[in-house]
Amino acid sequence: MAAFTVRVSDDTAKKLEEIALKMDRSRSYTAAEAIEEYVARQEWQLAEIEAGLAEADAGDFAGPDELASVVAKYVKPNS
């Protein structure tokens, strides 16, 4: 397991300490958990962006009918 120092604002450090106390965990455990969640979320998001760019590069776009179907799910016609 790797260890390193991270500098955060005093306010963030205080909030982290409060969260750790409420969870009955160490500040280190709580910070590591937060970093792991952040890394997983960013990894997923970047993979989705890369997949979308690959589809766009391949010319794989929605057609007019598919687009209209999606828009119809979220836009109500004027009555």
Q: Where are the domains of the chain?
A: 10-74
Rounded distance between C-alpha atoms, residue 12 and residue 15, angstroms: 5
pTM exceeds 0.75 for this model: no
pLDDT in tens, 8-37: 999 999 999 999 999 999 999 999 999 999
Closest CA to 19 of 29, 9, 10: 29
Once rounded to an integer, what is the mean pLDDT over residues 45-74? Answer: 93
